[in-house]
Chain A
Amino acid sequence: MESRILVREAPFDQQAEYELLRGSGSSVGAIVTFVGRVRDINDDDTVEALHLEHYPGMTEKELAGILHEAAERWPIISATVIHRVGDLVPGDEIVFVGIASRHRGDAFSACEFVMDFLKTRATFWKKEKTDLGDRWLTTRQSDVEAARSWRSDQP
């Protein structure tokens, strides 16, 4: 598996990232990409801005570990994870996950797996600036359960 892991402030170019995945070989029959964006409403409150902090070094290691686990489950040809940090506003694209594989089933599953574990393991923290003040986000139980469900679901 070729992997590309980037944690940075700069935005990403979806088309360029797609082209990189597409270029990873003629055996690539399926490319699934996911883009996460900053919402303008969270828990019924208006979000004005978002600050993202991370643990440099550990974040990249965790993301590499998640891709490695995904590659043990599905035959991934190429994988990309890009996560932005710093100051973002609603509508900004915050995370990109792209998986290239021979078949769509593997690419769909691996992409969802990577996102589910990114949410619960990768060392990022969001602080929202809302109309009610600043607040650190807390882990959603639904995210914990989404990651946990993969443990008992070997394909």
Chain B
Amino acid sequence: MASVVFFASIREDLGTDRVSLDIEEGMRVSELIDALAASNGPEWGEILKAGNIKVAVNQELVSADVALAPQDEVAFFPPVTGG
């Protein structure tokens, strides 16, 4: 099972901080979002496809629509604001 985690405003907008789901080898991030929207509601698609959203796979920021593996940890979050 892959873990999908959400932080900050994304977590609040979705109402959850984590979901687990089966990811097929090679599934793209965009396809993962479609799968999440299919099982949780279309608003998930809108929130996770927002223009400024950041995606990390296994705690590394990714900028492209990368392919995933079954045990990956995928994170969605807004631009960072620490310091």
Question: B-contacting residues of A (Cβ < 8 Å)?
Answer: 36, 52-55, 57-58, 61, 83, 94-95, 115, 118-127, 136-139, 143
Once the chains bind, are A139 and B82 in contact (CB under 8 Å)? no
Question: A-contacting residues of B (Cβ < 8 Å)?
Answer: 5, 7-9, 56, 59-61, 75, 77-83
Question: A126 and B77 in contact (CB under 8 A), knowing A55-B59, A57-B59, A58-B56?
Answer: no
Q: How far is the CA of A83 from the CA of B80 in the complex (A)?
A: 14
Please, which residue of chain A has its CB at the minimum distance from the CB of B82?
A: A124
**15 pairs across A/B with beta carbons < 8 Å?**
A52-B82, A53-B7, A55-B75, A94-B83, A119-B80, A121-B61, A121-B80, A122-B82, A123-B7, A124-B83, A125-B8, A125-B78, A125-B82, A136-B8, A139-B79
Dominant SS among interface residues on chain A:
mixed
Q: How far is the CA of A101 from the CA of B34 in the complex (A)?
A: 50
- Seed contacts A95-B83, A118-B82, A125-B81; 14 additional CB < 8 Å A-B pairs: A52-B82, A55-B56, A119-B80, A119-B81, A121-B61, A123-B77, A123-B80, A125-B7, A125-B8, A136-B8, A138-B79, A139-B80, A139-B81, A143-B83
